[in-house]
Structure 1
Amino acid sequence: MALFAAFLIAFAASPARAIPTFDEVRADFKPSDTVLLSREGEVVQRLRTDPTVRRGRWVPLADISPALRQALVLSEDKRFFEHSGVDWRAASAAAWGNLWNQRTRGASTITMQLAGLLDGPDSDFLRQRPGGRTVVQKLGQTVAAQVLDRRWRKDQILEAYLNLVPFRSELVGIDALSRTLFGKAAHGLDDREAAVAASLVRAPNARPALVAQRACGVLRDMQRSGVGGSGSGGSGGSGGARIACDALDLFTTAALQRRAFDASEGVAPHFARHLLRQRFGKDSVVPERVQSTLRAPLQRFAVQTLQQHLRELRGRNVEDGAVLVLDNATGAVLAWVGSSGQLSQASEVDGVLALRQPGSTLKPFLYGQAIAERRLTAASLVDDSPAHIATAGGLYIPQNYDRQFKGWVSVRTALAASLNVPAVRTLVMVTPDAFHRQLGAVGLPLRESGDYFGYSLALGSPEVPLLHLTNAFRTLANGGRLSPVALAWPATGRPPAFTQGMDPRAAFIVGDILSDVNARARTFGTDSVLATRFWTAVKTGTSKDMRDNWAVGWSERYTVGVWVGNASGAAMHDVSGTSGAAPIWAAVMGFLHAREPSRAPRPAQGLLQAKVRFGPGPVADGMLGRAPDLRLPLEAAREEWFVQGTQQPLFAIDSVADKPYPSRAEGPKSFKKELAQAAEAPGSPARITAPAPGTIIALDPDIPPARQRLQFTATGDGLLWRMDGKPLGRGPRVAWLPWPGRHVVQITDARGQVLDEIRIEVRGAGVVAGTGTSLTRAATP
């Protein structure tokens, strides 16, 4: 019997020999969250990396509320500072009570409980099982507690216990508890909060009413011991305890319903997830703190600006957005806002990584390719007139933002004013497959071939993420050189590995065009939000059916990309390029350059600037009824940038340049008479010349519905137009406010005899005439 007892004691004492030191326990402590720091060392995000428990940081005893320390000792181990790890008086009382089947208070001390918590993951010798600890476990726990009390100081035992003890559900340690249930750090807990926390130790998952009842008893013990009265726990005496207990039930219920770890978990959740996923992978151990490339003030400003602007757009069916800021030289991500947060119904979706249609933001790369291949120059003339391009799927008929055509314009004007038809004509020259390869070279790899997208590739039909699109614009800012973005700080110290994605001369010319306020005036005006007080180059874009709106551009040091829309893909209502993303882009750029200049880039080698003149041109649609002087040039003379060897002093339309024009002296009347005579010339059968029969017209989402017009033209005299059997207008041409659906267009003579007829289909958003109200209707199947 004695031999068995000795064996039992030796076996029970084995865990005591494995007790670690206090420093080892503290060093081994791992929070369940990783803290993301800005490059300045400021916390910008707290991200959950351990899904099994919720642990905050290790809190030193000096930073824990004295009220909580006292409440815990009074609740769990009143003679903590007197015994040597085991409270033999409490153990004897418990044994006596058990002998007589009396309800007794547990005799397990804080030190004994800590010994059980320190039992390593590879050994569960001291860990309590559902049915309670066995006699051997109790004996082992007693021995381990006495050894622990000899090796550690009392303050170390109390500090470790408060950081390791499970409080409720997944909450482990005082930092997680205090921030989750009370929304504050552990040093700020008052008497009432301390009493609730101490009560949870004994029964972590008890009902709120039972926790409140126990907390009330702890409050009374605190006041009897003379330590009560801090914060909202009362002011001493039985009266203060009674007041605190009266409201404790509601207070405890509310506290136990809270689930957020911290009311200020951060401003960069999407970036934090992407960084940890890219840097550490799925199965790697993530450190407690990770320093990123983000600038904390800029990140907060970008979040606030996005949310504020989307609130201003409330009522236009837009609730999501994203902002990305890159350093041009290093590719460092300075700001990454993935969503509008609480304004969004899909706040977990990262708008920086989501695939969306970029609209007109791909045009700079198309014109850059055409300039690099010497197909065009910035002064080359391109035709902005109705185009009917035959494709395998039928006629492709691009439209401009304002449903108007400008006639012959220079490439500078076509790109800066974002004219769609000239872009499609340029893609016809470049070919979709070649442009597809160019997009890949600047970091925009597409999942489908160029032929898959066809000529709609010029207008941004493929889907790309804001991250890649913004970095592609950074390529333009760096003279056509591409490098990956950088997420973690500090950088390696080595310069980024650049590859040449575009001809540097073409990149410079494209940037010069996109910074030209006068060139974009035809569409945006000279005082739009895109016109900054410092040098910038910017391009806007809107996707089909107004689902996505973009503004991407760069300054001397930074590239900023902004997207607004809906994560669900729902269409916005009347959100154009300058009312959607552009104001956010301009505000972020203004913040970046509040105290920092931005100068225009130096020209690349192989470029020269020369003066160019433009010849006169034909009358474009929409000029009828006005009296232009045909001696005026298509555009004003200017200094223009050229790839060396492509310069020329005059740009004119060959078919018009040699034709005699009325002189200024002949005046407007002569001009109108000549137009009338040309329209009434006999000998030609009456027919509708545009649009072509069977045309399918997809309305450009960049245009507010009330400003949309479709031009019908015909040859013949005395013509009357009818739309679906109703009068539409008279003359050789009429303008029509498009309405979704299938329509029959006819021209008749004065007697009502039908001379020609076509059928067309309109798809997209229409407007109710006279109301300005946008309405979307599916085309009739």
Structure 2
Amino acid sequence: MATAGRCLGGAVLAAGLWLAPAASAQPAAGAGGQALASEGFPPEYAAVRAAWRPSDVRVLAADGQELQRLRTDFSARRGDWLPLAEVSAALQRAVVMSEDRRFYAHDGIDWLASASAAWASVWNPGARRGASTLSMQLAALLDPALRRGPGGRGILQKLDQMQAARALEARWSKSEILEAYLNLAAWRGELVGVDALSRVLFQKHASGLTLREAALAAVLLRGPNAPVPTLVQRGCALLQALGRPDECQGLRDFTQAALSRTREVRFDAPALAPHWARVLWDAGLADGHGEIRSTVDRGLQEATVRAVRRRLSELHGTGVTDAAVVVLDNRSGAVLAYVGSSGVLSEAADVDHARALRQAGSTLKPFLYGLALDQRRLTAGSLLDDSPVGLDGGGGLYVPDNYDHRFGGWVSARTALASSLNVPAVRTLMLVGTDAFASRLVELGLPLTQGGDYYGYSLALGSADVTLLSLSNAYRALARGGDYAPVNLRAQPGAPAQAGTRAYSPGAAWIVGDMLADRPARARTFGLDSPLTTRFWTAVKTGTSRDMRDNWCVGWSVDYTVGVWVGNSAGASMRHVSGVSGAGPIWHDVFDWLYRNHAPAPPHRPAEVEARAVAFGDGLEPARTEYFLGDTAQARFSPPDARADPGRPRIAEPVDGTVVALDPDIPQGRQRLRLRAVDAGGRVVVDARWFLDGRPYDAGGEPDWAPEPGAHVFELRDAQGVALDRARVIVQAGRFVAGEAGPGASAGPKGGNHPVPQGQH
């Protein structure tokens, strides 16, 4: 092209003409930001259009509808390629009037405009008047060699541009040239292409641009970074040329308002799954057309987003600002819905809480009981002692407590799991072993970074950090009969069932699900009517982390697994919100939507599971049908201590070996330690005879004690003075605030000072 240009240049120079560089916009890079090579110019129109790439990838739902756009290219902000039919006629007219009035009459070079520019430069050498046609500008957009440098275009480059424009006109139609120009041109700041311009600057589709908007857009082409007064002056002149001088009124305010939106979000772009879009992009799932096809159900995603916002609005004032939800297809491992935050309600909307590490709380208990069932250490009917226990935690005594600070005595494993009792879970972990349990959790894909000894017995109550996505998928293993398979990010709609690895026997997984679906079994903690109750079969478990920082609700049906986390981005404690009141309602709403038109059947009981009628001694629990693995079936369960010595009381609180550290910020007289004696069945003994350091202690109707520094021994004695049980307590002194409660001062709440680590349900 350079040789031809120089030949043409000789003829033009001989005529004494000087062509000033056009004062048009700085050209953007070629299609999609990629420069097109000069060889073989001009390229085919179809090739230019096919090479166009928006700066966003489009994430599509299972039905092909757009779910989300994710910005992945920050060199420029480009929208979709728009056909000319989708561009306002007003904009087409304004651009042609402003940039190339004889566009439809010339063959790529406007000789009249060129001559006029050259004539003007002869009489006014300081004036530089542009004569570039739309075809010449498009040629520069397509060929990097034709782009204007910092000092403008030299005469040879200009002549090359003219020849390229004529070649372009010979192969492209006028409509194709105008369409390509509008889609490739830079408008303002980082905005490239008419789609980005209209959806960002004017917050509408390009087909709806008015004449005033079109005039402002057209003069932006001439000076993308021109100041407002210049744009107003040029815009008004263009409106007058278009026969609408009345549109000049208020043009300054209109221009300032439009330019203030250069960094606004794209108009009318769906924003249903921003965090899921990032997950898929990070996994490298974008195709060559800037699209990512996913298995997310758009209707379910919309319903889940609505449920999150509605339920969090109901929790206003409780410290809850955020939530995350994951819905998985049990068979294929496909993600059907993914909400990473509450959006506008969130304090950190960009944080993906579905992949953030949070303390698991009681949501790990089903995996523990499933392991105990497989090891034949427990059955669903086995009795566990729900009474205080003190364990050596290495750095001190570990004393687990229940969520409601009450103990139930002997309870079945079914009741213990369904009602999320903490002490029985710790006793179960003592049977299974911390290392074995931690290894099983890792096999289920949970991101534990330490061995069982690191977490100790608190692992039974969820002291490990997990993510909602990994936790939900671990529950999916139970829903699949104990068969674990990872989340399938590459699944397509209608994907077949995943092949997995065996984590639990089908029988153990089924029994765990049956326990978690048992409404009467969870009534002790949750009641018979709660958000955990559905009109169809579901197995569900809640969890609340220490200090009420996180709460969870995860459960499954035969088809789906749904996991919900509720909390806040800063990790601050919530007020009076547990898994059943925070995450539970969202979980219920999602399952209601999934089965809005039908009800699923319960899962089929595996052949290895035996059903047998059972009864419980001392009327501990009602008779029922219970389920067993292998040869573990039995017809009656009785507490061993009740058979041996049914009347012998013992000290339930304080636990022997308790160490109490007095709080220096609370008056000593207001700090209390609860005293509680129970019989072998776990029932409170109200007439217990208490002794403190060998002397009778009148505990009163609601026994407690104001701790005094030093070592102390509590005893229970019978009527003959024989010691039945004793508990040693060490009270560590502290420096106390002024104004300690003196004689006669109120003792404050009973049991207000408990040095007890707590897992939550």
TM-score, with length taken from structure 1? 0.82
Tell me, what secondary structure is at the counterpart of 1:600? coil
From the superposition, tell whether residues 744 and 177 of structure 1 become closer, same or farther in structure 2 (CA, over 3 Å): farther
1:434 matched residue in structure 2? 436
Equivalent-residue separation in structure 2 for 1:687 and 1:576 (angstroms): 26
1:544 matched residue in structure 2? 546
Q: Is the counterpart of residue 734 in structure 1 residue 720 in structure 2?
A: no
Equivalent-residue separation in structure 2 for 1:688 and 1:374 (angstroms): 31
The one-letter amino acid paired with 1:110 is L
1:565-714 paired onto structure 2 within 5 Å: 565-616=567-618, 633-657=619-643, 690=655, 692-695=657-660, 711-713=674-676
Tell me, what secondary structure is at the counterpart of 2:543? strand
1:162-311 paired onto structure 2 within 5 Å: 162-223=182-243, 238=245, 240-243=246-249, 245=251, 247-256=253-262, 258-280=263-285, 287-311=289-313
> Could you tell me how far 1:74 is from its partner in structure 2?
0.8
The one-letter amino acid paired with 2:436 is A
Percentage of pairs with the same residue: 47
Q: Is the counterpart of residue 55 in structure 1 residue 78 in structure 2?
A: yes
> Could you tell me how far 1:490 is from its partner in structure 2?
2.4
Which ranges in structure 1 are unaligned for 5 or more consecutive residues? 229-237, 617-632, 662-674, 680-685, 699-707, 723-727, 750-754, 763-767
Cα displacement string for residues 576-599 of structure 1 (whole angstroms, at most 9, x for unaligned residues): 121111110011111111112122
Tell me, what secondary structure is at the counterpart of 2:397? strand
> Could you tell me how far 1:315 is from its partner in structure 2?
1.3
Q: Is the 8 A contact 2:5 2:156 kept in 1?
A: no
> Could you tell me how far 1:445 is from its partner in structure 2?
4.2
1:256-405 paired onto structure 2 within 5 Å: 256=262, 258-280=263-285, 287-405=289-407
The one-letter amino acid paired with 1:637 is A
2:142 matched residue in structure 1? 118
1:99 matched residue in structure 2? 122
Q: Is the 8 A contact 1:358 1:541 kept in 2?
A: yes
Equivalent-residue separation in structure 2 for 1:155 and 1:729 (angstroms): 99
1:46 matched residue in structure 2? 69
Q: Is the 8 A contact 1:16 1:144 kept in 2?
A: no
Q: Is the counterpart of residue 524 in structure 1 residue 547 in structure 2?
A: no
1:73 matched residue in structure 2? 96
The one-letter amino acid paired with 1:522 is R
Equivalent-residue separation in structure 1 for 2:288 and 2:5 (angstroms): 48
Which of 122, 142, 151 is equivalent to 2:162?
142
Tell me, what secondary structure is at the counterpart of 2:625? strand
Cα displacement string for residues 4-63 of structure 1 (whole angstroms, at most 9, x for unaligned residues): 9539679x9x95852112112111111111111100111000111222111111111111
Q: Is the counterpart of residue 562 in structure 1 residue 567 in structure 2?
A: no
Q: Is the 8 A contact 2:67 2:272 kept in 1?
A: yes
Mean CA deviation greater in 244-253 or 160-169: 244-253
Equivalent-residue separation in structure 1 for 2:474 and 2:638 (angstroms): 34
Tell me, what secondary structure is at the counterpart of 1:694? strand
Q: Is the 8 A contact 2:334 2:492 kept in 1?
A: no
From the superposition, tell whether residues 159 and 609 of structure 1 become closer, same or farther in structure 2 (CA, over 3 Å): same
TM-score, with length taken from structure 2? 0.84
Alignment size in residue pairs: 689
Equivalent-residue separation in structure 1 for 2:116 and 2:708 (angstroms): 92
From the superposition, tell whether residues 115 and 334 of structure 1 become closer, same or farther in structure 2 (CA, over 3 Å): same
Q: Is the counterpart of residue 759 in structure 1 residue 745 in structure 2?
A: no
2:481 matched residue in structure 1? 479
Mean CA deviation greater in 313-322 or 358-367: 313-322
Cα displacement string for residues 216-272 of structure 1 (whole angstroms, at most 9, x for unaligned residues): 22222222xxxx5xxxxxxxxx4x32435365344434444x432335342101111
Equivalent-residue separation in structure 1 for 2:223 and 2:260 (angstroms): 18
The one-letter amino acid paired with 2:249 is I
Tell me, what secondary structure is at the counterpart of 2:385? strand
Q: Is the 8 A contact 2:219 2:234 kept in 1?
A: yes
Higher RCO (Cα < 8 Å, 6 or more apart): 2
The one-letter amino acid paired with 1:556 is V
> Could you tell me how far 1:757 is from its partner in structure 2?
6.4
Tell me, what secondary structure is at the counterpart of 1:321? strand
RMSD of Structure 2 on Structure 1 (CA): 3.6
The one-letter amino acid paired with 1:353 is R
1:752 matched residue in structure 2? none
Equivalent-residue separation in structure 2 for 1:719 and 1:658 (angstroms): 23
The one-letter amino acid paired with 1:6 is C
Cα displacement string for residues 480-534 of structure 1 (whole angstroms, at most 9, x for unaligned residues): 0111222345269553121111121110000000000100000000111111111
Equivalent-residue separation in structure 1 for 2:443 and 2:579 (angstroms): 26
The one-letter amino acid paired with 1:268 is A
Equivalent-residue separation in structure 2 for 1:352 and 1:486 (angstroms): 16
Cα displacement string for residues 531-564 of structure 1 (whole angstroms, at most 9, x for unaligned residues): 1111111000011111110000001211000001
Q: Is the 8 A contact 1:209 1:253 kept in 2?
A: no
The one-letter amino acid paired with 1:210 is T
Q: Is the 8 A contact 2:356 2:468 kept in 1?
A: yes
From the superposition, tell whether residues 689 and 469 of structure 1 become closer, same or farther in structure 2 (CA, over 3 Å): closer
From the superposition, tell whether residues 145 and 697 of structure 1 become closer, same or farther in structure 2 (CA, over 3 Å): farther
Q: Is the 8 A contact 1:612 1:640 kept in 2?
A: yes
Cα displacement string for residues 179-212 of structure 1 (whole angstroms, at most 9, x for unaligned residues): 1111111111111111111111111112233323
Tell me, what secondary structure is at the counterpart of 2:591? helix
Equivalent-residue separation in structure 1 for 2:652 and 2:536 (angstroms): 53
2:50 matched residue in structure 1? 27
From the superposition, tell whether residues 169 and 330 of structure 1 become closer, same or farther in structure 2 (CA, over 3 Å): same
From the superposition, tell whether residues 131 and 744 of structure 1 become closer, same or farther in structure 2 (CA, over 3 Å): farther
Q: Is the 8 A contact 2:558 2:600 kept in 1?
A: yes
Q: Is the 8 A contact 1:401 1:419 kept in 2?
A: yes
The one-letter amino acid paired with 1:638 is R
Which of 105, 109, 112 is equivalent to 2:133?
109
Equivalent-residue separation in structure 2 for 1:275 and 1:339 (angstroms): 17
Tell me, what secondary structure is at the counterpart of 1:125? helix
Q: Is the 8 A contact 1:16 1:147 kept in 2?
A: no
Equivalent-residue separation in structure 2 for 1:81 and 1:556 (angstroms): 65
Q: Is the 8 A contact 2:318 2:575 kept in 1?
A: yes
> Could you tell me how far 1:770 is from its partner in structure 2?
8.2
From the superposition, tell whether residues 476 and 141 of structure 1 become closer, same or farther in structure 2 (CA, over 3 Å): same
Tell me, what secondary structure is at the counterpart of 1:36? strand
Tell me, what secondary structure is at the counterpart of 1:347? coil
1:158 matched residue in structure 2? 178
Tell me, what secondary structure is at the counterpart of 1:298? helix
Equivalent-residue separation in structure 2 for 1:15 and 1:88 (angstroms): 25
Q: Is the 8 A contact 1:37 1:291 kept in 2?
A: yes
> Could you tell me how far 1:363 is from its partner in structure 2?
0.2
